[in-house]
Each structure stands twice: as structure tokens, then as C-alpha cells.
């Protein structure tokens, strides 16, 4: 089966519907499937539940879908850096389900592995535990968290071969491997597509069995928070 599509719009065709759940890879602006997100914006699909570590920034990444009010609910562990997210949440326009970061990653990993739920200590005694089943193991209390299975997974990788084996680059790996496994359909955008058999099997992070569609995209290397260091001169120190 040919998994390679010409562009993000073609790859998303037939995969979107109102009210669906989409899991999205990335951490901040690192390793986000930016072309696929922008293509979703063009479709005007609405009432989305988006599972992602965070929501990008105001004008980039998932922030684009917040600006167009296409997201109804976010399932996230960090929601800073986005003023529009804050405004919509505080005004009651956006639902939010907070998850500790490790719990969110494990929920997606569990969903991809066919595990419906697991117990964790994280969140016990906090608002995270409210309404969840508690159980004691060896004298310690744990809460039940459910696995996440999304209708669609969107990931960003560095390299892919033509059958969809993926390699992520350094910190851009972040949430992408677990996101790739937890969707009923997975679409990957990559920087480079190589011939099948070119990639070292020992270096493949996501096997092709999880990847349904594939595009090569052009990617913008944005800096989420630019900080500048100014060296203090001897004259400044003495002053």
C-alpha cells in the first residue's frame, strides 16, 4: 500500500470529522506536525478534542486551531505560553483536562498497547485524583487512569522510509512515539523520505505498522522563548 501523499491536505482527506479526538505529537514547538495542523485549520472541522502535551503558542502549532475555535477540549499537561488558551479557558469557552506529564504519556502508550487502564501514585491526594478509583497496593494508594485511544494521531519525524518506518531527531522525539501508537489512524510528516531498507533497523523509533499515511513537509524552526545573553564588560563591572 502506498502511504506517501503529495501534501497535508491530501493526507487528511477522509480522516477528519466533527467531534473527533486527535492526538498530536510535540513538546512546546519542538517536533510538532505543523503542516498537518495548518491543513486541519483549512478544513474548518470543529468540536475537536485534542490530546497534546501543550497547545503551542498563539499564532503557531495548535494555537492556530484555538484561534479559529476548532478545539472544544484540550487534554494536556502544560498550557503556558498561549494567551488565547488562557482566555478561552477562563471564559468557559474551552474545556481542559489536566494530566501530569508522565501520566499523559503513559495513557497514550497504554492506549496504543491495548491496555484500558493502569494504576499510578501520581496525583494521589490532589484534584487530579477526584472522581477516580483508588486502590491500595502494598500499603500505598494509587489511582486508576485510563488509556487513550484517539481517532487520529499526528506526528512529526525526521526521516521515514517509503513504507513508513520513522526516526525522530533528538528532543523532537518527545511525545511523538506514544502519539503514533494510540491513534486508529496515524499520519506522519517528515523532513526526508528515503528508500525502504536504507534506515538501520536498530535506529527505527516507530515501526511502519503504526503509520498509515506519510508526507514530506517544509518546516519552520521557530524559537518558543528567545533569550539574549549580554556579556558584562570590565568597565560595566567597575561602574
Task: State residue 236's pLDDT score.
Answer: 60
Q: φ, ψ for residue 141 (rounded to 5)? A: -95, 135
Judge whether 76 lies within some domain. yes
Distances 136 to 126, 133, 143 between C-alpha atoms, Å? 16, 10, 9
pLDDT tens for the chain, 239 residues: list them: 799 999 999 999 999 999 999 999 999 899 999 999 999 999 999 999 999 999 988 889 999 999 999 999 999 998 877 899 999 999 999 999 999 999 999 999 999 999 999 999 999 999 999 999 999 999 999 999 999 999 999 999 999 999 999 999 999 999 999 999 999 999 999 999 999 999 999 999 999 999 999 999 988 777 666 778 777 666 665 65
Q: Residue 34 is inside which H or E element, if any?
A: helix 34-43
The whole domain housing 52 covers 8-216
Our count of domains for the chain comes to 1
User: Per the domain annotation, does 187 fall within a domain?
Assistant: yes
Q: What pLDDT was estimated at residue 220?
A: 79
Q: How many other CB atoms are found less than 10 A from the CB of residue 39?
A: 23
Residue 190's CATH number: 3.40.1080.10
Assigned domain for 207 exists: yes
Is residue 221 domain-resident? Answer: no
Residues 20 and 40 sit within 8 Å (Cβ to Cβ): no
188 within some domain:
yes
CA–CA separation, 161 and 159 (whole Å): 7
Supply the DSSP symbol for 22.
E
Any domain includes 1: no
Neighbours of 20 (CB within 10 A): 17
In a domain, 235, yes or no: no
Q: Which residue shows C-alpha cell 487520529?
A: 152
Kindly give the pairing relationship between strand 213-216 and strand 183-194: parallel
Asked whether residue 101 is assigned to any structural domain, the reply reads: yes
Amino acid at each position: 500500500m502506498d502511504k506517501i501523499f503529495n501534501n497535508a491536505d491530501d493526507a487528511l482527506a477522509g480522516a477528519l470529522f466533527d467531534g473527533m479526538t486527535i492526538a498530536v505529537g510535540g513538546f512546546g514547538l519542538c517536533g510538532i506536525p505543523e503542516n498537518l495542523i495548518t491543513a486541519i485549520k483549512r478544513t474548518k472541522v470543529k468540536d475537536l478534542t485534542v490530546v497534546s502535551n501543550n497547545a503551542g503558542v498563539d499564532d503557531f502549532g495548535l494555537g492556530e486551531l484555538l484561534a479559529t475555535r476548532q478545539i472544544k477540549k484540550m487534554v494536556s499537561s502544560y498550557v503556558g505560553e498561549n494567551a488565547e488558551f488562557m482566555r478561552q479557558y477562563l471564559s468557559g469557552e474551552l474545556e481542559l483536562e489536566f494530566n501530569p506529564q508522565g501520566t499523559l504519556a503513559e495513557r497514550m502508550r497504554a492506549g496504543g498497547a491495548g491496555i484500558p487502564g493502569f494504576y499510578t501514585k501520581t496525583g494521589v491526594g490532589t484534584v487530579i485524583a477526584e472522581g477516580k478509583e483508588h486502590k491500595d497496593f502494598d500499603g500505598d494508594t494509587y489511582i486508576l487512569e485510563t488509556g487513550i485511544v484517539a481517532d487520529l494521531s499526528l506526528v512529526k519525524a525526521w526521516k521515514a522510509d517509503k513504507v513508513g518506518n520513522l526516526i525522530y531527531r533528538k528532543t523532537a522525539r518527545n511525545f511523538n512515539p506514544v502519539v503514533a501508537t494510540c491513534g486508529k489512524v496515524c499520519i506522519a510528516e517528515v523532513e526526508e523520505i528515503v528508500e525502504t531498507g536504507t534506515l538501520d533497523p536498530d535506529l527505527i523509533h516507530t515501526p511502519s505498522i503504526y503509520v498509515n499515511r506519510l508526507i514530506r513537509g517544509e518546516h519552520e524552526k521557530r524559537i518558543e522563548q528567545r533569550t539574549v545573553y549580554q556579556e558584562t564588560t570590565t568597565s560595566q563591572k567597575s561602574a
